[in-house]
């Protein structure tokens, strides 16, 4: 190993250490080894494929800044992936990762990682209106595909409908296709998989994946810059529009109006619309009826919690992808103990592999129990506004109707304010949506409630106890 490579990496680490938490540094940077420095390209060795993906997902900007400081703007980073089998005493092995960034003669374990964000910001798309063949970045993640979206009873309808749409976009009765279900059940994965397959089968089609939050930000920006019509025109030239978390349009009248016009144009012209939501159309609050009726035109397919067999398959598939073996009893333990959320399940697997790899310990049941207890306990779950109202009402021994009523009795008003406070804290709903669901109040009332709770928590000991008790009940 060249001393130059080590010196460059050591200097990078000094910079990185100053910009992240000690735990993150210890977990993700201490295990890395500098390998060589060739033509301004620093090669570093990482212990596994998931490790490389995590760095690219979370720390690519930090790595870019630190390496550019050392080697200048032409700096490059190459990952050498040296995987270790964490079960038994077998020799380390390397994972072959295909790369489009290097010639086919590259060594299989090296991954050239040019500094670019995996999910680049969607550039302002409407500066050149009227140009149909504008090159539009799809924003799709190719790692989310049908091959690794495992079928089970919980997702069969949604997956089958997604496949039908991907094979014939705009040509099925599933338009729009609305995929809904709880947090971490694979809505985003399936939405990307549909887009990825369409791009593979129909390269000429313009496909765009965008979150409802990003769509809203772009719309607000277009209004500020007085180019709302250009914004609408851009979205009308899309062949397949995939909008994630459509429920986040709740309470945003302007954004809903512009989406309504875009949706109508696409649908009338045989273009495909795919939407995801954490709730069914009938349960969406503060979405205009004319928009909800259009959501119901096609198919609403629910993703439910996966059954035991599906969870086992998901675990085994994840382990296979990461090149790791795990005893059957530990696979079954994980499948039995993490039941409600696929994202949680995969996160626990990553944590388990990471602990085993970093500490050079075999994966055993004791380690699995520790990881699962720790991971599941500290994984933040988003709760619904409906659930928050029920918990607050039960705590103050009243029913939800009383909580939502117009009465100005002090204890009821305080309970209502606490419900609004926790809805803002624990959900992604807008202030308008929170107010509408908690007694049909406006956003100003919600804002006032949150300020009141903050003030009373700081000055009233009994009220502070209410906040602490409810926080435990809602986040445990």
**Which residues contribute to the annotated binding site for ATP?**
184, 186-188
From the annotation, which residues make up the binding site?
A: 184, 186-188
Strands 76-83 and 93-94: antiparallel
Residue whose tokens read 């060795």: 45
Distances (CA, A) of 285 to 8, 192, 376: 54, 26, 29
Q: What is the largest CA-CA distance in the chain?
A: 76
Those residues with Cβ within 8 angstroms of residue 425's Cβ, 6 or more apart along the chain or in another chain: none
Residue in 124, 97, 91 with CA at minimum distance from that of residue 111: 97
Those residues with Cβ within 8 angstroms of residue 137's Cβ, 6 or more apart along the chain or in another chain: 120, 122, 123
Distances (CA, A) of 63 to 47, 50, 75, 99, 180: 17, 17, 10, 20, 36
Please tell me the distance from the alpha carbon of residue 472 to that of residue 400, in angstroms, as a whole number: 20
Residue in 240, 155, 255 with CA at minimum distance from that of residue 205: 240
Those residues with Cβ within 8 angstroms of residue 432's Cβ, 6 or more apart along the chain or in another chain: 250, 251, 252, 286, 442, 443, 446
Counted residue by residue, the chain has a size of 476
DSSP β-bridge partners for residue 241: 208, 273
What is the DSSP secondary structure assignment for residue 269, as one 8-state letter? Answer: T
Residue in 276, 283, 349, 362 with CA at minimum distance from that of residue 85: 362
């Amino acid at each position: 190993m060249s001393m130059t490579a080590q010196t460059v990496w050591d200097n990078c680490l000094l910079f990185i250490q100053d910009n992240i938490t000690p735990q993150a540094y210890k977990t993700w940077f201490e295990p890395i080894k500098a390998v060589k420095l060739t033509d301004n390209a620093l090669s570093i060795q990482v212990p596994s494929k998931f490790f490389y993906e995590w760095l690219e997902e979370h720390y690519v900007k930090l790595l870019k800044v630190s390496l550019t400081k050392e080697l200048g703007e032409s700096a490059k980073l190459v990952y050498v992936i040296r995987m270790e089998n964490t079960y038994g005493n077998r020799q380390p092995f390397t994972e072959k990762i295909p790369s489009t960034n290097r010639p086919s003669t590259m060594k299989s374990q090296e991954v050239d990682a040019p500094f670019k964000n995996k999910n680049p910001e969607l550039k302002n798309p409407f500066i050149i209106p009227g140009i149909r063949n504008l090159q539009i970045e799809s924003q799709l993640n190719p790692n989310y595909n049908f091959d690794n979206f495992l079928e089970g009873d919980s997702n069969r309808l949604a997956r089958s409908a997604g496949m039908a749409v991907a094979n014939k976009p705009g040509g099925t009765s599933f338009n729009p296709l609305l995929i809904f279900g709880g947090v971490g059940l694979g809505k985003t994965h399936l939405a990307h998989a549909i887009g990825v397959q369409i791009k593979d089968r129909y390269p000429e089609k313009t496909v765009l994946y965008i979150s409802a939050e990003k769509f809203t930000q772009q719309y607000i920006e277009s209004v500020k810059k007085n180019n709302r019509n250009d914004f609408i025109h851009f979205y009308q030239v899309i062949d397949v529009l995939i909008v994630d978390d459509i429920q986040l349009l709740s309470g945003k009248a302007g954004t809903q109006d512009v989406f309504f016009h875009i949706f109508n144009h696409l649908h009338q012209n045989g273009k495909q619309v795919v939407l995801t939501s954490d709730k069914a159309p009938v349960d969406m609050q503060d979405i205009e009826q004319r928009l909800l009726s259009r959501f119901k035109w096609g198919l609403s397919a629910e993703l439910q919690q996966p059954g035991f067999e599906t969870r086992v398959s998901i675990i085994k598939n994840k382990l296979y992808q990461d090149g790791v073996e795990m005893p059957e009893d530990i696979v079954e333990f994980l499948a039995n103990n993490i039941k409600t959320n696929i994202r949680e399940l995969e996160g626990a697997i990553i944590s388990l592999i990471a602990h085993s790899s970093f500490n050079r310990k075999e994966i055993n049941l004791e380690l699995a129990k520790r990881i699962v207890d720790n991971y599941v306990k500290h994984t933040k779950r988003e709760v619904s506004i409906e659930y928050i109202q029920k918990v607050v009402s039960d705590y103050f021994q009243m029913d939800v109707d009383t909580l939502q009523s117009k009465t100005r009795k002090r204890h009821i008003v305080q309970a209502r304010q606490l419900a609004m406070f926790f809805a803002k804290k624990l959900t992604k709903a807008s202030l308008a949506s929170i107010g509408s669901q908690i007694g049909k109040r406006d956003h100003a009332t919600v804002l006032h409630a949150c300020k009141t709770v903050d003030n009373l928590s700081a000055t009233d000991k009994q009220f502070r106890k209410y906040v602490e008790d409810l926080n435990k009940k809602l986040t445990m």
